[in-house]
A and B are shown apart, each in its own frame.
Chain A
């Protein structure tokens, strides 16, 4: 198992501002991912956070809008830039820990943009 801490758990932001979400894991992590869950919908993969290099983004997501850092094995940040109400979602980080096929999720960061 893994303990995944996400901060903030929720926030209300103004249009045009940016917010950075942090994900910290207590275990040896091999892979980290960021997902978005729009209201009442399923989860969509935003990107794979790569340690020490640029993240790998899925179709429809770009670095300018969702810059991601992963300075070490157990920590990553996702920034939602120049926010609009359409960015109101839950953002979740997911990890694969070493020697396991399990994929765990953090509790999510619930973002509301006014």
Chain B
């Protein structure tokens, strides 16, 4: 999605926190989503945030939203080897999703 941008790669040590950043352009987006895709698999919904919220926490996941700057981040605490995957952020308009290119997260021992 040309309207949603993410960094392409992130390498993190096991046990550290991962932070994946995303910027979007559509100010009318109502919800923003994070998905995880493991090799050969479909998309797993991790979490979503309403565009009027600043933060949402769900177990090891924390989403921060700066609506003024149109910046979204996903923090994964205590990153594990099973967190190695591609992470997509997406903005929604009428529940139609525009995706970023995906961030490949590699967890090293």
| Chain A residues with a Cβ under 8 A of chain B | 31, 33, 35, 41-45, 48, 58, 92, 94, 96, 101-108
Residue of B nearest to A6 (CB): B42
Q: How far is the CA of A107 from the CA of B41 in the complex (A)?
A: 6
A-B contact pairs, 10 of them (CB 8 A): A31-B95, A35-B97, A42-B99, A42-B102, A45-B98, A92-B42, A94-B97, A96-B95, A104-B45, A106-B42
Whether the pair A105, B31 counts as a contact (CB closer than 8 A) is: no
| B101, CB-defined interface residue at 8 Å | yes
Whether the pair B99, A102 counts as a contact (CB closer than 8 A) is: no
Whether the pair B96, A42 counts as a contact (CB closer than 8 A) is: no
| CB < 8 Å neighbour of A42 from B33, B41, B88 | B88
Within the complex, the shortest CB–CB distance from B34 to chain A, in Å, comes to 11
> Which of A42, A48, A104, A107 has the most chain B CB atoms closer than 10 A to its own CB?
A42
**Which residues of B51-106 have CB atoms within 8 Å of chain A's CB atoms?**
88, 90, 92, 95-102
| CB < 8 Å neighbour of A103 from B42, B50, B92, B98 | B92
Assuming the contacts A31-B95, A101-B50, A105-B35, asked whether A41 and B41 have C-beta atoms less than 8 A apart, the reply is no
Q: How far is the CA of A35 from the CA of B92 in the complex (A)?
A: 14
Q: Which residues of B contact A35 (CB under 8 A)?
A: 97
Q: Which residues of A contact B1 (CB under 8 A)?
A: 42, 44
Whether the pair A101, B100 counts as a contact (CB closer than 8 A) is: no
Whether the pair B48, A101 counts as a contact (CB closer than 8 A) is: yes
Assuming the contacts A92-B43, A108-B42, asked whether A103 and B97 have C-beta atoms less than 8 A apart, the reply is yes
Given A101-B31, A107-B41, 14 other A-B contacts at CB below 8 A? A33-B95, A33-B96, A33-B97, A35-B97, A58-B96, A92-B42, A92-B43, A102-B45, A103-B48, A103-B92, A105-B35, A105-B44, A105-B45, A108-B41
**Which residues of B2-49 have CB atoms within 8 Å of chain A's CB atoms?**
31, 33, 35, 41-45, 48
Q: Which residues of A contact B48 (CB under 8 A)?
A: 101-103
| CB < 8 Å neighbour of B33 from A33, A41, A103, A107 | A103
Within the complex, the shortest CB–CB distance from A106 to chain B, in Å, comes to 6
Q: Which residues of A contact B35 (CB under 8 A)?
A: 105
